[in-house]
Structure 1
């Protein structure tokens, strides 16, 4: 049956379209993140030269030593930049970690294991729970990095149509859950390794011994994924499902709902992979349980132990294990040589990130050498102490600033690399742990992603949407995602503030205060 689709009023869609057009024009004017960091390095050089000429210095609160700004454009600065370029890249904290993690995740993804898990997650639920199932699957899907969009967004449309609901709504829910909840996952993801490495480098400006684990926000992430899925469910039912323009075009292609179903072999492979994971976890618990375990730290500590220091390798091993078991059963792994081949394919996919890391690593090394970060952190921290600005107000100001930046700079690693060297030391000097600042960044890095056309996945989601509604444009998708993104950011912020107020640890060995 054909229904009449209502046309948005001039006060609705055109305003959104104009706003998105402005964002798109400004964002397109920005250079590629690789060149952005070299431009920032050049700006840093000029700033450091001016501050050094003025003899700017501060007293470091960590050791009481006087820290003077050094001129990056001087002979010493040039010598440092040339002689350390390779070491800066090789020792960049996220480098080795992300490569190790991605090798394991690649096996799980390219054998079809992650896609099978997502299909099960959105197909075996009653109609009343399909919104929550797709939303929660969106948070879990982050283990597949960018592949989450390719796999889950069309599956969301299929899952909704299978239970008699609008496939347009299914695409919107799946896309927004991934985009605006990208840094909230109950399972450790490659992003966790990247953020932890950048946070570690920034924290070492104040404390050279600082270390932030890839699972330092794990407890907070688990709670966030559930809360965000509930928020998406509520807004979808109370707001989006009331819209009169959810009907697909009369000539929209029929979906093959059978795509959601797993074959007998795939179901068998999932069971075997699950069993392998369970056995591996039981063995791990058995090894770690004794107080004298070699995986424990001094005094039997688990918080500061080889286990948590090597958590990236452990995560890679577990993903690789389930991927190998699943792939061997379904036939995507036919011989042992296929496993390293899949790992290579995964690392190839990370090549653009590794190239960006080269530029980021140089900028952070220059920032550290010039001591501009020390000066900014100490001056800002002193200002906060002098004005008596409540910590909660500081959190909110940082959140608003980063959220606005995220509309233009949608690369999380790029934005955090710019912000972390200032925000992490500054907040450390007012007794806010680096893990807490990182958790705050997660909210800003995710919330506005679903509404910005600067994200390449926004365009991808629009393509999936146009499969059901040919006249859909940027403003159409933004008008769908905007209520979800606002509600998710608001509730996620309140969850963070409550978490901080109650003093709940953010993750293993990561106090929030």
Structure 2
């Protein structure tokens, strides 16, 4: 990579970094937006509209005696009824234990280190994509391990680092499993969809089919870019002898024993769950139609996944002697909750904005006006989807949190696009595609500094511009091919998940 190319990219991205750093915290942004809603509702109060069901609504002011009384009276309820709050925290109880006992890290390391030489690139990329179930563990395990393995094979370690980071960051929202991301985003989507239809429900698996298929698409794109484009361009980069310090990435005998115990626990639990849904009259099937879509099974995915992670984490922890009694399990759950304290604060601010937006009926007003504009201009179909993808990808440079961005965008775009017959499930899937891809080149990515630090152990003069220029092909390539895959899925009108069509 030419030096001037890196410097030019650093200049552009330096501006983005400075602009992003000058933005208020997402919590502050939501509080400011609540004040904006107050002002707009005052200016637009009295405007009438007819919702898609034929009901007449009137924009009501939040900056009035009734509005302020409502806000003060419902401030606590706005917080506790914000859908992602309880769902994500419950999910994190199980995932937190899995991370604290070391299970997720051990699974990632065991998978990558056991890969055949010819499959190394694909396995590193795949583990990175699947790593979103491991939260921060994936970022601190997969990219450094990818660099170490590439170096051991005589390949450029920066290519291994980039492969792992591309999977973790640019492939963040794809997965073969239903994970915490699905839970949080589905809750926000449901709240936004209920602006149009109060009875609309969105379960966590509504994007499961599409995201499962996307896991292999994203992995294939990363492998192609690494081996055909990125790695060859790294041949002239000045390198120096480096190592990962004293950190041991191997899987110990105790960890392997723990993984066997976790596997047994997982198999037993999955068999028990299958007994409730496979039989025609299973207790978690729909009690009236005995179908799976809809059913208590889909409505109960969060507690089911919570118990699954406990069913694999506790045997692992006991086997590795990390868990000695029930107090350790509770302590690990508590530690996981502490790490989500900032998320709780974010939910408080986002809950005020979303509820105030709904109370004033500005959400319906903007969605009706937006839908009318789209219908009048004929802007729909593929151009509309592409525009939404580009908008989301660009916003990702300035607001890092996926939940915060979706809480901001969903109340506007979900009801608006529902009126063009695009389902909330599809709008959520489109958001997830675009939100993932530019993570790898966003200066606001929380693990960017860590990736730079690892790279500096192998190459000279590595900085933010170096990493961004290294990751740019992944971000653009994955956005292009994953976006094409989304459009293909839309054109084929394939279900995005159980009971989740593309169109209404």
- TM over 0.5: same fold? yes
The 3 A distance-change label for structure 1 pair 162 and 187 is farther
Match of 1:237 in 2: 227
Q: How does 1:364-379 map to 2 (within 5 A)?
A: 364-379=354-369
Which of 255, 277, 295 is equivalent to 1:266? Answer: 255
Aligned counterpart, 1:218: 208
* Distance in 1, Cα, partners of 2:253 & 2:453: 32
By how many angstroms is 1:308 displaced? 0.7
Answering whether residue 167 of structure 2 is matched by residue 173 of structure 1, we say no
Root mean square deviation of aligned Cα: 1.5
User: What SS does the corresponding residue of 1:239 show, helix, strand or coil?
Assistant: helix
Match of 2:8 in 1: 15
What corresponds to 1:437 in structure 2? 427
* Corresponding position: 1:138 with 2:128: yes
SS at 1:67's partner residue? strand
Q: Does 1:44 align with 2:37?
A: yes
1:286-305 alignment to 2 at 5 Å?
A: 286-297=275-286, 298-305=288-295
Q: CA deviation at 1:250?
A: 2.9
Between the aligned partners of 2:203 and 2:362, the Cα distance in structure 1 is: 26
Structure 2: segments with no counterpart, 5+ residues = none
Find the counterpart in structure 2 of residue 279 from structure 1.
Answer: 268
CA shift, 1:360, in A, is 0.2
Matches within 5 A, 1:412-423: 412-423=402-413
- Correspondence for 1:150 among 115, 140, 143: 140
* Counterpart Cα distance in 2 of 1:289 and 1:122: 33
Give yes or no for the alignment of 1:312 onto 2:310.
Answer: no
CA distance in 2: counterparts of 1:271 and 1:313, whole angstroms: 24
Structure 1 stretch 438-447 or stretch 503-512: which is displaced more? 503-512
* 1:4 corresponding residue in structure 2: none
Q: Secondary structure at 2:57's aligned position in 1?
A: strand
Stretch deviating more after TM superposition (116-125 or 459-468): 459-468
Counterpart position of 1:56: 47
1:184 deviates by 0.9
Which residue does the alignment assign to 1:203?
193
The one-character-per-residue Cα deviations of 1:435-456 (angstroms, maximum 9, x if unpaired) are: 1000000011111111111222
Query: 1:66-122 deviations in whole A, cap 9, x for unaligned?
Result: 111111111111011100011111111111111110000111111111111100121
Q: Provide Cα deviations, 1:172-198, integer angstroms capped at 9, x if missing partner.
A: 111121111111111222111111111
Counterparts of 1:387 and 1:479, CA distance in 2: 38
Structure 2 partner of 1:110: 100
Q: Distance in 1 between matches of 2:376 and 2:351?
A: 34
Partner in structure 1 of residue 477 of structure 2: 487
Distance 1:65 1:254, change over 3 A: closer
Please state if 1:346 is matched with 2:336. yes
Task: Tell me the equivalent position of 1:505.
Answer: 495
Write the mapping of 1:454-493 to structure 2, written as runs, cut at 5 A. 454-493=444-483
Shifted more, 289-298 versus 102-111: the winner is 289-298
In 1: Cα distance, 2:144 partner to 2:98 partner:
20
Q: Which residue of 2 aligns with 1:26?
A: 19
Q: Partners in 2 of 1:272 and 1:110 — Cα distance?
A: 17
Partner of residue 122, structure 1: 112
**Count of residue correspondences:** 502
Contact kept in structure 1, 2:109 and 2:250, CA below 8 Å: yes
Determine if contact 2:144/2:244 at 8 Å carries over to the other structure. Answer: no
- Is contact 2:115-2:123 (8 Å) kept? yes
For residues 455-480 of structure 1, what are the alpha-carbon distances to aligned partners after superposition, in whole Å with 9 as ceiling and x for unaligned?
Answer: 22112211111122241011100010
Contact 1:139 1:186 in 2 (8 A): no
Alpha-carbon deviations, 1:305-324, whole Å to 9, x = none?
11111101111111111000
Whole-angstrom CA distance in 1 between matches of 2:304 and 2:57: 39
* Structure 1 residue 101 corresponds to structure 2 residue 95: no
TM-score (norm 2): 0.97
Residue deviations 1:194-228 (CA, integer Å, cap 9, x gap)? 11111111011001111111111111111111110
* Residue of structure 2 equivalent to 1:446: 436
Query: Which residue of 1 is the match for residue 319 of structure 2?
Result: 329
Moved over 4 A (4+): 245-248, 254-257
Q: 268-277 or 306-315: which moved more?
A: 268-277
Structure 2 counterpart SS, 1:354: helix
TM-score by length of 1: 0.95
The whole-number CA distance in structure 1 between the counterparts of 2:211 and 2:30 is: 29
User: Does the CA-based 8 Å contact 1:505-1:511 persist in structure 2?
Assistant: yes
